[in-house]
Amino acid sequence: MMSHTFSRSRFRPIHAWSALFGLLLSGCSTLGSVGAETFTLKGELPADFALKAQAHYGGSEGCSDRGHVKGFKRDYEKVPHGYEFEIPVSYRDGLCELRLVRVGLFIHARYGKQDWQETYDNGGLMVVEKLSTNAPAFQPDGTLSKAVKCSWLFQISKAKARKDQISKLLSCNGAGAEITTKALAGKVVKLSFILDLEEEPYRDNTWVKFSNGWKPCLPKEGWQQCQDPPIFRSFKRGNQECTAYPNCTE
């Protein structure tokens, strides 16, 4: 993932040599650089999951027009796997010391081999001065641990290219945490993702659950919900014509 630095000089030097001399004295470079202090974001991912993180840095008073984004990535694997990112808590842009303000998370997952059988959900770490009520805090050993439950929500696609096929959306509720700015360096945030094997329909009252699986029903006229009593329909999984999910046949 690419990082982008946005900067705009607030000073107009009188003479090029004097400006260069001033930079040498200050020890600053016109090129940005990450700070030496970091905290660790780590955890576990289910099979066929990937994770991207974007650390966002912002300026303090006098540098509020500055910003920087640094990216991290853990690719897919066919088996459960771990990830670990060392995230700097600061970024220097010229004379400006930018501080970490948030870490955006993009949880990617795939449920088939086709390009369209891949989706994602969002989360993030918010850097705050004071934790909200009931928000978990760092333990005395410097760690903050949280498990995130993800699940697949299935539906019948209406897209022309995959009409009547099963498509899925990923839902990872509470995928993130609050972290405080005080003494963040050296801390460890453990954020592990767990996949619920029990899938559910994307919309309520569009499928009916039986002992042998979920059966989709025709909607009421002008509505998405099932007719009453329900009238069931078929759907497709690849080249198969199916009547119940996930086993295709009843």
| pLDDT band with cut points at 50, 70 and 90 for residue 41 | very high
pLDDT tens-digit map of 26-37: 333 345 676 679
Q: Which of 1-5, 119-123, 156-160 has the lowest mean pLDDT?
A: 1-5
User: At which residue do the structure tokens 């996930």 appear?
Assistant: 246
Q: Which residues pair with 85 in a beta bridge?
A: 41
Q: Is the pLDDT score of 5 beyond 60? A: no
The confidence score (pLDDT) of residue 37 equals 92
Cα separation, 46 vs 70, in Å, equals 24
Gap between the Cα atoms of 54 and 176, Å rounded: 13
pLDDT of res. 9 = 36
Q: What angle do CA 208, 175, 180 make, to 5 degrees?
A: 155
Per DSSP, the three-state class of 136 is: coil
* Number of other CB atoms surrounding residue 67 within 10 Å: 18
Kindly report, residue by residue over 55-73, the tens digit of the pLDDT. Answer: 999 977 777 777 899 999 9
Rounded to an integer, what distance in angstroms lies between the CA atom of residue 105 and that of residue 179? 14
Q: CB burial class (10 A; 0-12, 13-18, 19+) of residue 124?
A: middle
pLDDT tens-digit map of 170-196: 999 999 999 998 889 999 999 999 999
Whether the Cβ atoms of residue 98 and residue 181 lie closer than 8 Å to each other: no
Tell me the average pLDDT across 15-28.
36
With H, G, I as helix, E, B as strand and everything else as coil, classify residue 126: strand
